[in-house]
Amino acid sequence: MSKKYYIHSTAAGCTSNLWESAVYDDYFKSEEMNRVFKPDDADVIVVNTCSVTPGFEVQSEKYIEKMMRTQMGDKAKDKKMIIAGCYSAIRAEKIDDAWAKEHENVTHIRPVEMEKLAKSLDFDHEKTYKPISTNRFDDISNCESTIPHKIVWGIRKVVRALYKVLRIEKSYLLNFLDTMIFSDGFYVIEVGHGCAGGCTFCSIKQSRGFVQSQEEMTVLDRLNDGLNKGYKNFWLLATDIGAWGLDRNKNPADLMAPLYEKEEDFRVVLNYIEPRWLLYHENIHKYLKDHKTIGVTVPIQSGSTSLIYHSGRRYDPVQVADCVEAIKEKNPNLIVKTDIMVGLPNESWKDFYMSCKAVFRFDVIVPIIFGVRPGTKAERDPNMISAPIKWIRMIILSALALSWQVYNCISGFFKDIFGLFRFKKEDPELLKD
């Protein structure tokens, strides 16, 4: 009888996390296991965790505790639980002390640590494992989702249906909704993972390691595969696409060129580009200006240059915003998303004011409240901001971001609708007798 598995992501909106869940899903299917959607029915439970902020870390811990309490008791001696994801990478000791020592069938793995996963389940890894080629995100129903997420997904379905009837294909609003949160219907191509940054507050490098890039021809083969299968939407996935090729002394623009030279009509989302690369690699601008590109995330983290440098990052956020503005002049339907963090160590009210001003230079803003990550330099920074001040700033920034995004959606909708009634030059083909 085939074994059954259950996968749940504790992250909401993390594309890397949902892609990894799809990797595990495909791997288990290759081992002739069957997926179930209730943990009670599973022989193997995978909790794919997130630890980007203390809030997500707590969310991950609560779900693990729930699974330990309801699924890993004496009556389920043969059931196994795999704790995966970023939380597992940076909190391995805590997992051992709190859960793995309590139950021998609890194991933790780093993101996509497939050999250890196979070993924990007694699979013959060398015999059965195939290189990762998963080209999708796991279904959004298998992750933690908030009310705003559900609202966006609902609006997206309605707008897609309406625009299909109205035959609106190229639209700011469609791009906005498709890129605001991870999207269905996209062919996912992982171009690399890992980080080359030196941020004082971030734990991504601990969990993902240094940059490891895919070969450009491998990526091109994946694109061709997607096109041959009828896909029109592609999501290039990486911790930092701006660092694509850094481990092989190659320029990301040179690696992107073969993709954009394709004559077929398709859309591309670039997952993340660290702001410094936008200033350093000016030759990637032409691909952002290309109308094939519909979305990119450029996480400035703060609108204050002095705070950026204090945080170990090396760019002027105002210059980055100016660069984004110049790119959008050529590609106005491009959706540029950014992350802005409040409460970073040493953040003054002036720094916060600069972050508030930065809101209006981007299309989508993800407000984040700073929380200490284990093993980071910021953990030892003496200039911490008090919790009440951080929350006041978070509320203000969130209100500004939400208002601006609603305005962008509404104005984009009316622009699309009124565009249907523009007085346009007749198609010459229609004038022929």
* pLDDT at residue number 151: 84
Query: pLDDT digit string (tens) for 212-228?
Result: 888 888 899 999 999 99
Query: pLDDT digit string (tens) for 11-27?
Result: 877 889 999 999 999 99
Dump the DSSP string for 171-240: -HHHHHHHHHS--TTPEEEE-EE------SS--HHHHH-S-EE--HHHHHHHHHHHHHTT--EEEEE-S-
Residue 343: give its domain's CATH number. 3.80.30.20
Residues 110 and 159 reside in one and the same domain: no
* pLDDT at residue number 198: 84
* pLDDT at residue number 425: 57
The DSSP bridge partners found for residue 35 are 5
Query: pLDDT digit string (tens) for 68-99?
Result: 999 987 767 789 999 999 999 999 999 999 89
Residues 334 and 391 reside in one and the same domain: yes
* pLDDT at residue number 78: 85
Question: How crowded is residue 398: how many other Cβ atoms within 10 Å of its Cβ?
Answer: 16
- Does some domain include residue 139? no
Domain membership of residue 246 as a residue range: 146-419
CA 402, CA 220: separation in Å to the nearest integer?
37
End-to-end CA distance of the chain: 69
- Does some domain include residue 394? yes
Rg (the chain; Cα; Å): 23
Residues 186 and 237 reside in one and the same domain: yes
Query: How far apart, in Å, are the Cα atoms of 398 and each of 52, 341, 367, 393?
Result: 18, 11, 6, 8
Half-sphere exposure of residue 250: CA atoms within 13 angstroms, side-chain side: 17
* pLDDT at residue number 130: 64
Residue 359 pLDDT more than 90? yes
Query: pLDDT digit string (tens) for 376-421?
Result: 888 889 999 999 999 999 999 999 999 999 999 999 999 998 887 7
* pLDDT at residue number 377: 86
Residues 288 and 361 reside in one and the same domain: yes
- Higher pLDDT pick, 130 / 297: 297
End residue of a domain, out of 128, 157, 172: 128
Half-sphere exposure of residue 379: CA atoms within 13 angstroms, side-chain side: 8
- The pLDDT-based confidence of 124 (bands split at 50, 70, 90) is confident
- Comparing CA positions, the residue from 123, 87, 88, 133 lying closest to residue 5 is 123
Residues 160 and 295 reside in one and the same domain: yes
Q: Pairing state of beta strands 212-213 and 233-237?
A: unpaired
Can you give the pTM of this predicted structure?
0.91
- Does some domain include residue 52? yes
* pLDDT at residue number 342: 96
Cβ distance 64 to 83 under 8 Å? yes
- Does some domain include residue 284? yes
Query: pLDDT digit string (tens) for 249-301?
Result: 999 999 999 999 999 999 999 999 999 999 999 999 999 999 999 999 999 99
- Does some domain include residue 198? yes
Report percent pLDDT > 70 for the chain. 94
Q: What is the dihedral of CA 358, 389, 314, 319, to 10 degrees?
A: 10
* pLDDT at residue number 231: 95
Q: Which of 66-75, 191-200, 354-363 holds the top average pLDDT?
A: 354-363
Catalogue the E-assigned strands of 283-354. 293-297, 335-342
Q: Which of 128-137, 157-166, 233-242 is least confident?
A: 128-137
- The pLDDT-based confidence of 173 (bands split at 50, 70, 90) is very high
Cα 153 vs. chain centroid, distance in angstroms?
16
End residue of a domain, out of 128, 154, 184: 128
Which 3 state secondary structure label does DSSP give 296?
strand
- The pLDDT-based confidence of 366 (bands split at 50, 70, 90) is very high
CA 210, CA 425: separation in Å to the nearest integer?
53
Number of domains in the chain: 2
* pLDDT at residue number 2: 85
End residue of a domain, out of 101, 128, 155: 128
Residues 390 and 329 reside in one and the same domain: yes
- Does some domain include residue 137? no
* pLDDT at residue number 394: 97
Which 3 state secondary structure label does DSSP give 4?
strand
Residues 124 and 159 reside in one and the same domain: no
CA 88, CA 109: separation in Å to the nearest integer?
6
Residues 310 and 400 reside in one and the same domain: yes
CA 404, CA 316: separation in Å to the nearest integer?
23
